[in-house]
Amino acid sequence: MVLSPEDKNHVRSTWDKIGGHGAEYGAEALERMFTSFPTTKTYFPHFDVSHGSAQVKAHGKKVADALANAAGHLDDLPGALSALSDLHAHKLRVDPVNFKLLSHCLLVTLANHHPAEFTPGVHASLDKFLASVSTVLTSKYR
Amino acid sequence: MVHLTDQDKKAIKCLWSQVDVGAVGGETLGRLMCVHPWTQRYFGNFGDLSCVSAIMNNPKVKAHGKKVLSSFGDAVNNMDNLKEVFGHLSELHCDKLHVDPENFKLLGNTLVIVLSLQLGKEFTPEMQAAWQKLVAGVASALSHKYH
């Protein structure tokens, strides 16, 4: 899957629009994922996953910062995400199906807060972006 | 197998009463075809699906989207026996339409995104969870008669 110039523009403009809300949206996406897909909680037995949890907020910020970094390096996602790719392959070993679940919840969150910007074209580009990030993060699994 | 609690059912019915079936149906089917273009394979006779604006403005897409979402209304009114309610549609999708059941999951998730888009604050994580259960139940019911 290749991100077209139009896809890249859509991703960059979305991240501009997100501004300083990244951490908030990251946390919300995680909360949505834990609520809708309880099996995802198996990777966080050490977390308080209740609404407003400080751990979820902190982790949401980590996820958001990683995505912002990816959005700033669309021409070299494998390079930008190399360390995270190693981490997921050798330490975290999150089953690949879960990346789709988090990606879906990120889209639900973005659509929720930015309905005017979340046009079908932008939606398609963001879906491709998150799928590309997921592919990179699982690329060293075996 | 999904289990809808009484709270889930209440939330689903409450939200459904606000859904414009035509608008949400057309938006959902259109976005499915834009975001996952391979789904267009089932709609060869729909005319122009060449780009996002062609898809979203296509009258056949809008009409069929409305039809699809109307059957979700049947799901909302029969949450306790989805397999029975969708029996005939399941046979149709397998024997006549030859639709890969994976597409039911894609459509369900696209519907969830459109509901989030249109309802904003009201589409809380708990509301989303209830709807994720319902769309999973519908997808399962529609695949039930496949052979």
| Per-residue pLDDT tens digits for B29-65 | 999 999 999 999 999 999 999 999 999 999 999 999 9
**How confident is the model at residue A28, as a pLDDT?**
98
DSSP one-letter string for A24-73: HHHHHHHHHHHHH-GGGGGG-TTS--STT-HHHHHHHHHHHHHHHHHHTT
Q: Chain B: residue nearest A122 by CA?
A: B35
Q: Do B35 and A127 touch (CB under 8 A)?
A: yes
Range A33-41 average pLDDT: 97
Q: Which residues of A40-68 are buried (b: 16+ CB within 10 A; e: fewer)?
A: beeeeeebebeeebeebbebbbebbebbe
Q: What is the pLDDT of residue A1?
A: 81
Tell me the per-residue pLDDT of A76-126, one tens digit each, with 9 for 90 and over.
999 999 999 999 999 999 999 999 999 999 999 999 999 999 999 999 999
pLDDT at B97: 94
* Alpha helix positions (H), B36-124: 52-57, 59-77, 82-85, 87-91, 102-119
What are the tokens at B34?
Answer: 């834009």
pLDDT at B110: 98
From the list B117, B118, B129, the residue facing A36 with the nearest CB is B129
Model pLDDT, residue B2: 74
Half-sphere exposure of B77 (CA within 13 A, CB side): 9
Average pLDDT over chain A reads: 96
Dihedral, CA of residue B26, residue B7, residue A27 and residue A38, to nearest 10: -100
- Token representation of residue A90: 């050798």
Output the pLDDT for position A110.
Answer: 98
- Specify burial of residue B44 (Cβ count, 10 A radius: 0-12, 13-18, 19+): exposed
Taking CB atoms and an 8 Å limit, are B56 and A120 in contact across chains?
A: yes
User: For residue A138, what is the DSSP state?
Assistant: T
Q: What are phi and psi of B38, to 5 degrees?
A: -65, -20
Report CA dihedral (B9, B11, B14, B18) to the nearest 10 degrees. -120
Question: Which residues, 6 or more positions from B127, have their beta carbon under 8 angstroms from its beta carbon?
Answer: B11, B15, B119
Kindly report the pTM of this predicted structure: 0.95
Task: Tell me if A18 sits within 8 A of A25, measured CB to CB.
Answer: yes
Query: What percentage of chain B has pLDDT greater than the value 90?
Result: 98
Chain A residues lying within 8 Å of B132, measured CB to CB: 36-37
- For residues A109 and A107, what is the distance between their CA atoms, to the nearest angstrom? 5
Over range A47-72, report the average pLDDT. 97
> DSSP per residue over B102-143, as a string?
HHHHHHHHHHHHHHHHHHGGGS-HHHHHHHHHHHHHHHHHHH
Find, among B118, B28, B109, the residue nearest to A112 by Cα: B118
Nearest to B52 among A107, A118, A121 (CB): A121
Answer yes or no: are the C-beta atoms of A11 and A79 closer than 8 Å: no
Average pLDDT, chain B: 96
Q: Give the position of tokens 């949505």.
A: A32
B51: left (phi over 0), alpha (psi -120 to 50) or beta: beta
Q: Is A93 helix (H, G, I), strand (E, B) or coil?
A: coil
pLDDT band at B1 (very low <50, low <70, confident <90, very high): low
Query: Closest residue of B to A124, CA-based?
Result: B35
In chain B, the percentage of residues whose pLDDT exceeds 70 is: 99
